[in-house]
Amino acid sequence: MLKIGVLVSGGGTNLQAIIDKIESGYIKNCSIVTVVSSKPGVYALERAKKHNIPAVCIARKDYPSVYEYGEALIRHFEGLNVDLVVMAGFLSILEENFVRRYQNRIINIHPALIPSFCGKGYYGIIPHQKALEYGVKVTGATVHFVDVEADAGPIILQKAVYIKDDDTPETLQKRVMEEAEWEILPEAIKLFSEGRLEIEGRKVRIKEV
């Protein structure tokens, strides 16, 4: 059974997509053993509780540094023998020690086609605002392994979403979430759980069944 720890900071729609795919049996032999929010009172915590998943807030603001915060997260995840850490709308920085401890076992969903519209300061609605400002015709979402540099780890899956002339950042964000994020994040977890992801330098090869 693959033990999954999910890091959240907001509404938890990506968390919900994972829960739904596990409960439907599409993702097998996986269990979300903990949901950790970096902020108190977010709806992601309610979603976890509705599905009887242990959920806690380990608030970033309660720790004097990124390092101490990372150490607290490591203690939490190690205590539960977590095998895979999933960042699902998580808005805090994971410090280097954490990334090294869970090297190639942390995945993140980013709301753009990396390397476009990513890196420091590109989160939530901002990538969609920048995509519209730039005038790109296609955007989408990316699931990648987490490395020490933000949004720079080997890419696992991407899905494109075409931009419409009347899109606003809000309508675009909603369509990218519905058509891309909520599909490729659970899919990446399924592939990981089946041992089908092979990292070769910057590339991730998906092994056939």
Catalog residues that contact ligand GRF under the rule CB under 6 A.
8, 10-15, 44, 88-89, 109, 111, 124, 173, 177, 181
Catalytic residue list contains 76? no
Among 51, 110, 128, 144, the one annotated catalytic: 110
Provide, rounded to whole angstroms, the least separation between the CB of residue 184 and ligand GRF: 11
Provide, rounded to whole angstroms, the least separation between the CB of residue 19 and ligand GRF: 11
Residues 6+ apart with CB under 8 A from 135: none
Identity of the residue, 30 or 180, whose beta carbon is nearer to ligand GRF in the bound complex:
180
Alpha carbon distance 57, 35 (integer Å):
8
Identity of the residue, 64 or 121, whose beta carbon is nearer to ligand GRF in the bound complex:
121
Identity of the residue, 27 or 64, whose beta carbon is nearer to ligand GRF in the bound complex:
27
Identity of the residue, 10 or 70, whose beta carbon is nearer to ligand GRF in the bound complex:
10
Provide, rounded to whole angstroms, the least separation between the CB of residue 185 and ligand GRF: 9
Provide, rounded to whole angstroms, the least separation between the CB of residue 43 and ligand GRF: 8
Query: Which string of DSSP letters, residue by residue, matches the chain?
Result: -EEEEEEE-S--HHHHHHHHHHHTTSS-SEEEEEEEESSTT-HHHHHHHHTT--EEE--GGGSSSHHHHHHHHHHHHHHTT-SEEEESS--SPPPHHHHHHTTT-EEEEESS-TTSS-STT--TTHHHHHHHHHT-SEEEEEEEE--SSTT-SPEEEEEEEEPPTT--HHHHHHHHIIIIIHHHHHHHHHHHHTT-EEEETTEEEE---
Identity of the residue, 35 or 209, whose beta carbon is nearer to ligand GRF in the bound complex:
35
Alpha carbon distance 149, 170 (integer Å):
27
Provide, rounded to whole angstroms, the least separation between the CB of residue 31 and ligand GRF: 19
Alpha carbon distance 32, 52 (integer Å):
10
Q: Which residue is nearest to ligand GRF (CB)?
A: 89
Positions marked active-site: 110
